[in-house]
Structure 1
Amino acid sequence: MTSSVTPAPPDETAPPLAPPGVYAPQEDTALLAGALAEEPLPPGAHVLDVGTGTGALALRAARRGARVTAVDVSWRAVRAARRNARRAGLPVRVRHGDLFAPVRGESFDLIVTNPPYVPGPDDAREPFGAVTSWHGGRDGRAVLDRICREAPALLSPGGTLLLVHSALSDPGRTVGHLRASGLSAAVTHRHRIAFGPVLRARAEWLRERGLLSATEDREELVIVRAQAPC
Structure 2
Amino acid sequence: MNPLVPPGVYAPQEDTALLAGALSDEALLVGAAVLDVGTGTGALALAAARLGCRVTAVDVSRRAVYAARLNAARAGLRVRVLRGNLFDPVRGESFDLVLANPPYVPAPGGGRRPRGAARAWDAGHDGRLVLDRICREVPAMLSPGGVLLLVQSALSDPDRTVGQLRAAGLKAAVTRRHRIAFGPVVRGRERWLRQRGLLATTDDEEELVVVRAELPV
Query: For the superposition of Structure 1 and Structure 2, which TM-score range results when normalised by the shorter chain?
Result: over 0.9
Partner residue of 2:62? 75
Cα displacement string for residues 149-203 of structure 1 (whole angstroms, at most 9, x for unaligned residues) = 0111010000000000000100010001101111000011111011011110010
Partner residue of 2:107? 120
Question: What are the within-5 Å matches in structure 2 for residues 189-228 of structure 1?
Answer: 189-228=176-215
- Could you tell me the TM-score, scaled by structure 2's length? 0.97
Partner residue of 1:4? none
Question: What are the within-5 Å matches in structure 2 for residues 23-102 of structure 1?
Answer: 23-102=10-89
User: Secondary structure, in 3 states, of the residue corresponding to 2:97?
Assistant: strand
User: Secondary structure, in 3 states, of the residue corresponding to 1:179?
Assistant: helix
Q: In 1, Cα distance between the equivalents of 2:86 and 2:109?
A: 21
Any stretches of 5+ residues in structure 2 without a counterpart? none
Structure 1 residue 174 and structure 2 residue 161: aligned? yes
Partner residue of 2:137? 150
Q: In 1, Cα distance between the equivalents of 2:66 and 2:51?
A: 23
Shift of 1:214: 1.9
Partner residue of 2:93? 106
**How many residue pairs align between the two structures?**
216
Q: In 1, Cα distance between the equivalents of 2:150 and 2:115?
A: 25
Any stretches of 5+ residues in structure 1 without a counterpart? 1-13
Cα displacement string for residues 33-68 of structure 1 (whole angstroms, at most 9, x for unaligned residues) = 000000011100000000000000000000010000
User: Secondary structure, in 3 states, of the residue corresponding to 2:189?
Assistant: helix
Cα displacement string for residues 58-87 of structure 1 (whole angstroms, at most 9, x for unaligned residues) = 000000100000000000100000000000
Q: In 2, Cα distance between the equivalents of 1:149 and 1:80?
A: 28
User: Do the aligned partners of 2:19 and 2:150 also contact (CA within 8 Å) in 1?
Assistant: yes
Partner residue of 2:174? 187
- Could you tell me the TM-score, scaled by structure 1's length? 0.92
User: Secondary structure, in 3 states, of the residue corresponding to 2:150?
Assistant: strand
AA of the residue aligned to 1:224: V
Shift of 1:215: 2.7
Over the residues paired in the alignment, what is the CA RMSD in angstroms?
1.5
Shift of 1:124: 10
Q: In 1, Cα distance between the equivalents of 2:209 and 2:99?
A: 13
Q: In 1, Cα distance between the equivalents of 2:136 and 2:109?
A: 23
Shift of 1:28: 0.2
AA of the residue aligned to 1:170: D
Shift of 1:210: 0.9
Partner residue of 1:9? none
Structure 1 residue 138 and structure 2 residue 133: aligned? no
User: Secondary structure, in 3 states, of the residue corresponding to 1:161?
Assistant: strand
Q: In 2, Cα distance between the equivalents of 1:139 and 1:206?
A: 10
User: Do the aligned partners of 2:3 and 2:43 also contact (CA within 8 Å) in 1?
Assistant: yes
Q: In 1, Cα distance between the equivalents of 2:170 and 2:203?
A: 34
User: Secondary structure, in 3 states, of the residue corresponding to 1:98?
Assistant: coil
Q: In 1, Cα distance between the equivalents of 2:174 and 2:52?
A: 27
User: Do the aligned partners of 1:20 and 1:128 also contact (CA within 8 Å) in 2?
Assistant: no
